Amino acid sequence: MPESTARRPRRHGGAITDVAGIEVGHFTDARRPTGCSVVLTRAGAVAGVDVRGAAPGTRETDLLAPENLVDRVHAITLAGGSAWGLDAASGVMRWLEERGVGFDVRVGRLPIVPAAVLFDILVGDAAIRPDAAAGYAACEAASTRRPAEGNVGAGAGAAVGKIFGIDRAMKGGIGTASVTVDGVTVGALIACNALGDVVDPDTAQVIAGARTPNGNKLFDTRRALLRGVAPKPLLAGTNTTIGVIATDAVITKVQARKLAQMAHDGLARSINPVHTMSDGDTLFSLGTGASGKTLGMMTLGTLFAEATARAVVNAVRAAQGLRIGALHLPSAADLAAAR
């Protein structure tokens, strides 16, 4: 299924697991390209969320509003499978409950596990999607090691650049990166299944996305739309970039919400167009407080956006090309090698 690829450009360094208190695990379904990824914070972490896409698939996001009661979560689940994939979070809850992790409700421990999903069911058999067993398996695989990137977990069936049809799209994936300033680390894990193109913010060059009609080159969606090229009719919600940005800084729940908002600046720098009517772009923020420090919101917000943009770029640079049936999704490395 994955094609051999040429030498890849150097990816950004670091990982979300550089943040103390964070573990990551993937489950990738062997039957078709789909899966789920879990970010565990067993000791609990202050959390926030910001949903910018118009077609989200989410679970337990209302409780993250600053005015609501619960101020800590124990995991975040990212999954393929569209709304069906939200079932993966049930398996994460079961895994945590078995280990005594959760919010004390006197009669037991209730794990708080928000989740978001992306639409990957055009790739292979749509009846196969992440379920509770997949979420449980992702937890079993979790560790503090650098997570695998590309065609794994929630990024297994991801594609980017579908605005002119999936037959002209490219392979998306999942990526991670981190940034450290003055003893405070911010790391991101992003599953990129965007409608738009992925752009390297450092060079402003499109690196993956919609291809020309012959499929051999990048089309550059932004410039094509500005020329008046019409997109294909789109089914709402058939895309979406989702992710988690974590820090070991000490933050409040109000700050967590604001940092999730600022992290979307990283999506805007690395995906174009972004936050569309056919995307459910959702980013979660986590603060473990393990460093005992804070940098102030100006610097933290900058780091959240930077880690997000770098993780998006890593997601498509780590991806491998995919052939499944008549569908061909080349990777960024495939197109670069063909030039």
pLDDT in tens, 147-183: 999 999 999 999 999 999 999 999 999 999 999 999 9
Residue 235: pLDDT over 80: no
pTM score of the predicted model: 0.95
For residue 205, the model assigns a pLDDT of 95
Helix (DSSP H) and strand (DSSP E) numbers for the chain: 6, 18
Select the CATH number that applies to the domain covering 16-338 from these four: 3.40.50.2000, 3.90.1640.30, 1.10.10.410, 3.60.70.12: 3.60.70.12
Read off the pLDDT of each residue in 35-50 and give the average, rounded to a whole number: 97
Residue 5: pLDDT over 60: no
Q: How far apart are CA 76 and CA 71, in angstroms?
A: 14
Mean pLDDT in the chain? 94
Domain boundaries, the chain: 16-338
pLDDT band at 85 (very low <50, low <70, confident <90, very high): very high
Type of residue numbered 205 = Q
